[in-house]
């Protein structure tokens, strides 16, 4: 299982950040390049039906080594990384036998991974950690998931005495920008159920996630020379500040946890003439989710009434829904993963996803798909790290799932 670390370090050399402003499919060419490399690797390992389609989706098959009617298991991870932090020229640090305490990521810049700020480090005394150098993300979301799936398949190929049914792999583009399932060919994939390997710390088994929407406010102002602007100018930036101030200050990601939803302002661009605010709206409870969207609409309405003009236009777009609704109808799917973890001496950690995965959308498309751990922490930023031992446990769990099904 040591090869999962080597494979992961090789994969993160590819800068595969997706781009939500791109209209191409996939959104970045680097995802296609990485996918082509994976297809070659999968063929060399001995997998069958290894393909990359025009949209960048990589699929492959490990055929069954036993006869009989056995369900087809799907294993899924995504090719892209977040654009919230650079993934270019990642220089990982491998810390053997972590002794505890703060970790110096970058001496020149004075960047530390502080144990006081990230107390989860205390769980990994004596283990081997892979960190960043403090200037990029690490890419464990989701290069770790890909490395773990591929390593598990390599292990099964080397150990034909482990009986298993047909296993289908899929590596999707553009998950980080919510497009990971836009062109997913379910019929071609052909699985009865699946697992995304896209979670966090060791043992995570996730069967519920946020309902999610984006809310885009476009605020139109009136630009007049400031020397003659009295009673004429409407500064759209200032109107935007009024709108922002209407949202509840405590219902933001930095002040919520667990099942608590939020409004998250993710982008502002503006001039006097026009300002655009982009929010994401999240809640596990569908009824509260709908109320949150209604609140956003009411804020736009209040501004328009105040100025007696249609200054604010709002577009709300749902992006995904809580997969709990679907997975409750297929309890055997998460139960299989839970049994595999327990067999590997891993205590399942059932937590709601404060986000989403391809599995949420796939579940509503007809493929029940809970989410399993990769082992990583602090995704999307310079403080990201992953314990090698957790990656190895992920490989063992995947192998056991394939054996149990």
Q: Taking the alpha carbons of 53, 57, 62, 64 in that order, is the dihedral positive or negative?
A: negative
Annotated catalytic residue, options 142, 175, 338, 396: 175
Contacts of 157 (CB under 8 A, 6+ apart): 45, 46, 47, 62
Task: Write the CB contacts of 76 (distance below 8 Å, at least 6 apart in sequence).
Answer: 169, 170, 171, 172, 194, 195, 196, 197, 198, 358, 359, 362, 369
Task: Give SS3 for 18.
Answer: coil
Spatial distance between the Cα atoms of 372 and 305, rounded to a whole number of angstroms: 48
Instruction: List the structure tokens of 382.
Output: 């310079």
Q: Which long-range CB contacts under 8 A does 336-344 form with residues at least 24 apart?
A: 336/401, 336/404, 336/405, 337/195, 337/205, 337/370, 337/372, 337/397, 337/401, 338/205, 339/404, 340/397, 340/400, 340/401, 340/404, 341/203, 341/205, 341/397, 343/400, 343/404, 344/393, 344/396, 344/397, 344/400
Q: How far apart are CA 325 and CA 327, in angstroms?
A: 6
Strands lying side by side in the sheet with 385-387: 93-95, 129-131, 385-387
Distance between CA atoms of residues 297 and 223, nearest Å: 25
Q: Is position 80 annotated as part of the catalytic site?
A: yes
* Catalytic center residues: 80, 175
């Amino acid at each position: 299982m040591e090869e999962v670390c080597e494979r992961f370090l090789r994969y993160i050399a590819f800068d595969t950040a997706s781009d939500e402003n791109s209209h191409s499919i996939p959104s970045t060419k680097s995802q296609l390049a990485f996918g082509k490399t994976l297809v070659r690797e999968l063929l060399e390992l001995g997998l069958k039906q290894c393909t990359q389609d025009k949209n960048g989706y990589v699929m492959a098959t490990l055929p069954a080594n036993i006869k009989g009617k056995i369900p087809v298991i799907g294993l899924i991870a995504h090719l892209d990384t977040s654009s919230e932090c650079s993934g270019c020229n990642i220089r990982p640090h491998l810390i053997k036998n972590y002794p505890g305490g703060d970790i110096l990521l970058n001496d020149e810049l004075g960047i530390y991974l502080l144990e006081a700020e990230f107390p989860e480090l205390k769980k990994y005394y004596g283990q081997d950690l892979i960190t960043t150098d403090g200037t990029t993300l690490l890419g464990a979301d989701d290069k770790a998931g890909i490395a773990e799936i591929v390593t598990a398949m390599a292990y099964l190929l080397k150990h034909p005495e482990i009986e298993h049914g047909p296993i289908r792999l899929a590596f999707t583009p553009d998950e980080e920008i919510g497009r990971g399932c836009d062109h997913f060919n379910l019929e071609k994939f052909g699985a009865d159920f699946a697992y995304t390997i896209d979670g966090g710390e060791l043992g995570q088994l996730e069967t519920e996630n946020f309902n999610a929407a984006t809310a885009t406010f476009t605020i139109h102002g009136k630009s007049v020379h400031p020397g003659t602007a009295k009673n004429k100018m409407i500064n759209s930036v200032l109107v935007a500040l009024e709108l922002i101030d209407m949202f509840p200050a405590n219902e933001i990601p930095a002040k919520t946890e667990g099942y608590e939803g939020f409004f998250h302002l993710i982008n502002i661009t503006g001039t006097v003439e026009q300002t655009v605010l982009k929010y994401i709206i999240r809640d596990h409870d569908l009824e509260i989710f709908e109320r949150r969207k209604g609140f956003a609409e009411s804020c736009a309405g209040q501004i328009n009434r105040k100025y007696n003009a249609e200054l604010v236009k709002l577009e709300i777009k749902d992006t995904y829904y809580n997969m709990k609704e679907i997975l409750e109808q297929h309890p055997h799917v998460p139960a299989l993963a839970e049994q595999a973890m327990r067999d590997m001496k891993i205590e399942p950690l059932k937590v709601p996803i404060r986000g989403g995965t391809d599995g949420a959308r796939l579940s509503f498309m007809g493929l029940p798909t809970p989410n399993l751990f990769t082992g990583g922490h602090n995704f999307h930023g310079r403080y990201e790290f992953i314990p090698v031992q957790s990656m190895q446990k992920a490989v063992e769990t995947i192998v056991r799932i394939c054996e149990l099904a």
